[in-house]
Structure 1
């Protein structure tokens, strides 16, 4: 049953993820967190952050990891195939069909109309992640990370993967020091 659920979840993502990897992230979230509850929001955010630091398409990386986590190696293969097969089929069929009608106004309008929908999906997911980060970091830190990340990416051209990697290392260092601080407080050291 899990194999079928995995296939259907990622097949839907593959079919509806128009616009590339970033547009499929909210769809993966909907299937994995909300519908099947294979992971919670924090786990999904961790998978997304880790997936963004690795090379390659985000949808297949997430499908592979989530499939493996839910149903082992067979689940990983199942989820990745369910993600890429619709795209392969749609590319062959649609590109063949649309290339003959590419200059028609309805085709041009259709491709332009999808852009705002993808933007809204990404904005909704971004707002959800901001609320989660606000709960764990507070408004100041969450807002600060967003502003600094935006400035580094947009003004200085720093790759987002580098920023995510630095933040992951900072979180690991912070979590390693947290038990020491707690032990010192409990022992009365440093007071």
Structure 2
């Protein structure tokens, strides 16, 4: 996993510039750069890191940029990752600040923004589907459906903060795999004893 500062900066600049609609909408772009394009992390590691980052305070996209930068190049890489992700947008905001009043009344700009929203919804839906498919593959259909229903109840019916729900499921995941590992070790021992 050899990577250069140039690749890190280009990836984070692309995600910062092309991301539209807030932090969560940038995550599929960061995932593409980190998992598909540069192979910095495997999909499972990206999903685990995303879950942990969601439980921490602050903007999710900058946390992911910092994590990837740190993983690749240490503390300096984390700083480069964050700056490359946020600086182009900050500069663009400063440059376009004078045009906001003019553009905000334009029907064309409003139409452009409204036409981009479905694309973001599809990207988020696709990412959610891929993560759900992996969860069902790892946990099974019954347990995966139960967790989907529980998370819906926790987030929509009983309004629990998403970070708390994530921590609960992370805790269960750690316990689940620990128990699963212990059961497999016991099965292996019993097979060895019977052989």
TM-score in terms of structure 1 length: 0.92
For 2:180 and 2:46, the matched residues in 1 are separated by: 23
Which sections of structure 2, spanning at least 5 residues, go unmatched?
none
For 1:114 and 1:89, the matched residues in 2 are separated by: 22
Greater displacement, 88-97 / 62-71: 88-97
Instruction: Please point out which of 96, 99, 102 is paired with 1:97.
Output: 99
Greater displacement, 147-156 / 36-45: 147-156
Asked if the contact 1:98/1:107 (under 8 Å) is kept, the reply is no
Match of 1:85 in 2: 87
Match of 1:19 in 2: 21
Tell me by how many angstroms 1:17 deviates.
0.6
Instruction: Please point out which of 67, 70, 73 is paired with 2:69.
Output: 67
Deviations 1:61-92 (A, max 9, x none): 00101110011111111111011101211222
Which sections of structure 1, spanning at least 5 residues, go unmatched?
none
Greater displacement, 111-120 / 74-83: 111-120
Instruction: Please point out which of 127, 133, 136 is paired with 1:134.
Output: 136
How many residue pairs get matched? 189
Q: Which runs of 4+ in 1 moved over 4 A?
A: none
Tell me the secondary structure at the aligned position of residue 158 of structure 1. coil
Asked if the contact 1:10/1:63 (under 8 Å) is kept, the reply is yes
1:76 aligns with 2:78: yes
For 1:138 and 1:175, the matched residues in 2 are separated by: 13
TM-score in terms of structure 2 length: 0.90
Tell me by how many angstroms 1:143 deviates.
2.1
For 2:176 and 2:134, the matched residues in 1 are separated by: 18
For 1:24 and 1:131, the matched residues in 2 are separated by: 21
Closer, same or farther: CA 96–154 of 1 in aligned 2, 3 Å = farther
For 2:39 and 2:48, the matched residues in 1 are separated by: 15
Tell me by how many angstroms 1:187 deviates.
4.1
Tell me the secondary structure at the aligned position of residue 72 of structure 2. helix
For 2:92 and 2:141, the matched residues in 1 are separated by: 43
